Chains A and B, each alone.
Chain A
Amino acid sequence: MTTQNQAIEDHLNQRYQHGFVTDVDADTLPPGLSENTVRWISAQKNEPDFLLQWRLQAFRHWQTLSEPQWAHLHIDPIDFQAISYYSSPHSKKDAPKSLDEVDPKLLETYEKLGIPLHERAALAGVAVDAVFDSVSVATTFKDKLAEAGVIFCSFSEAVQQHPELIKQYLGTVVPYRDNFYATLNSAVFSDGSFVYIPKGVRCPMELSTYFRINAANTGQFERTLIIAEPDSYVSYLEGCTAPMRDENQLHAAVVELVALDRAEIKYSTVQNWYPGDENGKGGIYNFVTKRGACRGQASKISWTQVETGSAITWKYPSVVLQGDDSVGEFYSVALSNLCQQADTGTKMIHLGKNTKSTIISKGISAGKGQNAYRGMVRVTPKAKGARNFTQCDSLLIGSSCGAHTFPHIDAACDDAIIEHEASTAKISEDQLFYCLQRGISEENAVSMIVNGFCRSVFQQLPMEFAVEAQKLLEVSLEGAVG
């Protein structure tokens, strides 16, 4: 037995000896990944056997895979044996003990974003229980949802309370074999969110991870599942504009959406990972698999995302348009500044008749940022009357950054109508001078032009989120020019 396995073994013994975890250190699994790790995680969460078996299948498959090579990202090799795959929510060994220990730059950003004081500590990852003043808010929130029959809870809770739903839907949109990171996630996922909207119910409020208090510690392998029964509607908001400090460099989340007949799911993300210090050190690698299945007739899924932050982002929210007359939408703003690399885009797979998809992608590159858009529209032979409209715009700020677009169209059906528009613009010296001459500072000028550029995507966000997103871009672009 290797020393790593020995260590896990010790942990298992410790747990079984005492029946519960006693000291802080025992809450965190030592680095390393093996079948035992997977079993340990599943046991820790008291999961039913079907879930353990599913994790193990994924793990065995993962062992046969090798890490993908990316055309447009420069990534240092990741040592998967050097990662710890389980950390209980309360153990944050390297976390700062108080706000005094937090990177002052980060605090400055919170200030600028107007994050309330009492939330800053939690966002900065300070090792105290996340005490929100919003506990009462969260409670009224839960009552209202229960009244409507909506289930909104952590993934672990759903596994305990609604195992039949998990069993029915888990992995049906993103199978565990899907890709290297999705497979890894399937084997070792820590926690995440679960949403179920019953038939005919219009969810009475926007569901935001912000209100799910334990979401603060869902860890690096997050898993989300949203199910919308026929004729239901839900709008789900993920993330917040505050940069999240996190000691885990690698994040590999999976999000699965299922929309049944005439159901609509709107999924909005505003993401601002900690990009690392000035040298990009400590920045987050963000590899996410997000996919929605429009399984029902005339169902609709739309992804809206505003991304800044992480050192490396790799993410393609996609929609599989199975039901006839179903609709898929993707609206995206991706900003890369400093040394950030973003490789994002979407896939729209048309299977049903008269299916429609819209893609609006806005890429902003500043500093030495590199932004790549990769889009795929596939129309299968049976998808009669399929339509797609794609608009893909890039905005460059300065001359050391880059934008790349890789549209891919694969239409196997003659009567498909596919339109693609693309543009690249640069914020010119003359535009800036015009603003300066009118007394507007360079930073305000840039943010004004950038906001104008993003307007068609921001319009898709719920009002409050849109205002936050706008502010976020402003802060993220500070010092981008001059």
Chain B
Amino acid sequence: MIVIDNLQAEVEGKAILKGVNLTMNPGEVHALMGPNGAGKSTLADVLAGHGDLTVTSGSVRYYDQNLLDLAPEERSHAGVFKAFQYPVALPGVKNAYFLKAAINAHRKAQGQDPLDAFDFIQMTKEAMVRVGMDESFLQRDVNVGFSGGEKKRNEVLQMLLLDPKFAILDETDSGLDIDALRTVAEGVQSLRDSKRTFLVITHYQRLLDTIKPDFVHVLANGKIVKSGGPELALTLEDQGYAWLSDVEGHNDKS
């Protein structure tokens, strides 16, 4: 179980998260929506442990651990995965090399031997078929010259290979063509099981049509201002966020 309790965080002295509360159980898929600049990516970064962010208050319980006590790579080893909204390019680093380094770092943390070259290639090629990526991407530098959609597929590929317990997808559906969108949705669906938790940050209903989240939350101005079932996403698609400002104002006064 993942419990975010009154989480407050700032960047360069500016408060961004102003008391986020959210509980997620194994097997659940939570969608997080909200206007631009609300703090969605910031929340994802705080959970993953980005060094630029300072947590000023609150806590995050991750099963039996205090998540905020762990170093970013330890969180990764513990099963936290974040698909980046803007995946970073690593010039000179071959994708195959990077994937292998990541997989073996996880295996090492679990006390397993490194994967041999043959098993690695086999496992990676299988996963690449699932996300619709050509094998030639293994020989290219990580995210260098990848199109927007190719970067997102590459994120999903990493998710499949690292087999996370808690996957955060930050706008993995943005900028995708219809095929890519289906790939991402199927990627999530295929991993969905009773032990895994997803936090899917999105602006669009399209992805949620396939994924069918258990819960939908709206983050605005650093707080979760509304939570509901899948129907909330439909309402948002229809009416936008404007009607929620009342809710927010009302909450602030109380």
Choose one: B49, B90, B109, B162; the contact of A436 (CB below 8 Å): B49
Interface residue? A453 (CB, 8 A)? yes
Interface residue? B158 (CB, 8 A)? yes
Nearest-CB residue, chain A, relative to B45 = A433
Nearest-CB residue, chain B, relative to A430 = B88
- CA of A442 to CA of B49, assembled, Å: 13
Nearest-CB residue, chain A, relative to B72 = A436
Min Cβ gap A459→B in Å is 12
Contacts of A428 in B (CB 8 A): 88
- CA of A449 to CA of B88, assembled, Å: 12
- CA of A439 to CA of B103, assembled, Å: 8
Question: Could you tell me if A444 and B141 are in contact, using CB atoms closer than 8 angstroms?
Answer: no
- CA of A329 to CA of B88, assembled, Å: 34
Question: Could you tell me if A434 and B76 are in contact, using CB atoms closer than 8 angstroms?
Answer: no
Min Cβ gap B239→A in Å is 35
The answer to whether A437 and B141 touch (CB under 8 A), given A431-B88, A449-B90, is: no
Interface residue? B50 (CB, 8 A)? yes
Interface residue? A441 (CB, 8 A)? yes
Question: Could you tell me if B90 and A452 are in contact, using CB atoms closer than 8 angstroms?
Answer: yes
Q: Is the interface of A mostly helix, strand, loop or mixed?
A: helix
Nearest-CB residue, chain A, relative to B141 = A452
Interface residue? A448 (CB, 8 A)? yes
- The 8 A CB mask of B39-72 against A (1 = contact, 0 = none) is 0000000001111100000000000000000011
Choose one: B51, B52, B92, B97; the contact of A453 (CB below 8 Å): B92
- CA of A189 to CA of B75, assembled, Å: 58
Interface residue? B98 (CB, 8 A)? yes
Contacts of A429 in B (CB 8 A): 51-52
Question: Could you tell me if A439 and B102 are in contact, using CB atoms closer than 8 angstroms?
Answer: yes
Question: Could you tell me if A434 and B90 are in contact, using CB atoms closer than 8 angstroms?
Answer: yes
Min Cβ gap B79→A in Å is 10
Nearest-CB residue, chain B, relative to A433 = B50
Contacts of A453 in B (CB 8 A): 91-92
Residue from the set A436, A440, A455 with the largest chain B CB neighbour count within 10 Å = A436
Nearest-CB residue, chain A, relative to B144 = A452
Choose one: A433, A439, A455; the contact of B51 (CB below 8 Å): A433
Min Cβ gap B192→A in Å is 22
Nearest-CB residue, chain A, relative to B77 = A439
Question: Could you tell me if A440 and B92 are in contact, using CB atoms closer than 8 angstroms?
Answer: no
Interface residue? B123 (CB, 8 A)? no
The contact size tier of chain B is 20 to 34
Question: Could you tell me if A438 and B102 are in contact, using CB atoms closer than 8 angstroms?
Answer: yes
- CA of A425 to CA of B144, assembled, Å: 14
Residue from the set A431, A438, A442 with the largest chain B CB neighbour count within 10 Å = A438
Question: Could you tell me if A439 and B106 are in contact, using CB atoms closer than 8 angstroms?
Answer: yes
Within 8 A of B (CB), among A440-458: 440-442, 444, 448-449, 451-455
Choose one: B51, B97, B106; the contact of A448 (CB below 8 Å): B97
Choose one: B73, B75, B158; the contact of A441 (CB below 8 Å): B73
The answer to whether A438 and B162 touch (CB under 8 A), given A430-B88, A444-B101, is: yes
Contacts of A454 in B (CB 8 A): 92
- The 8 A CB mask of A438-482 against B (1 = contact, 0 = none) is 111110100011011111000000000000000000000000000
- The 8 A CB mask of B140-167 against A (1 = contact, 0 = none) is 0100000000000000001000100000
Min Cβ gap A395→B in Å is 9
Nearest-CB residue, chain B, relative to A482 = B51
The answer to whether A448 and B101 touch (CB under 8 A), given A434-B84, A437-B48, is: yes
Min Cβ gap A448→B in Å is 5
Min Cβ gap A35→B in Å is 53
Question: Could you tell me if A440 and B91 are in contact, using CB atoms closer than 8 angstroms?
Answer: no
Interface residue? B93 (CB, 8 A)? yes
Question: Could you tell me if B92 and A436 are in contact, using CB atoms closer than 8 angstroms?
Answer: no
- CA of A431 to CA of B8, assembled, Å: 25
Choose one: A434, A444, A452, A455; the contact of B87 (CB below 8 Å): A434
- CA of A197 to CA of B175, assembled, Å: 62
Q: Contacts A425-B91, A435-B98, A436-B76 known; list 11 others, CB within 8 Å.
A: A431-B90, A434-B90, A436-B71, A437-B49, A437-B81, A439-B73, A444-B101, A448-B97, A449-B92, A452-B93, A453-B92
Shortest beta-carbon contacts, A-B, top 9? A452-B92, A439-B76, A438-B102, A436-B72, A439-B105, A434-B88, A452-B93, A436-B73, A453-B92
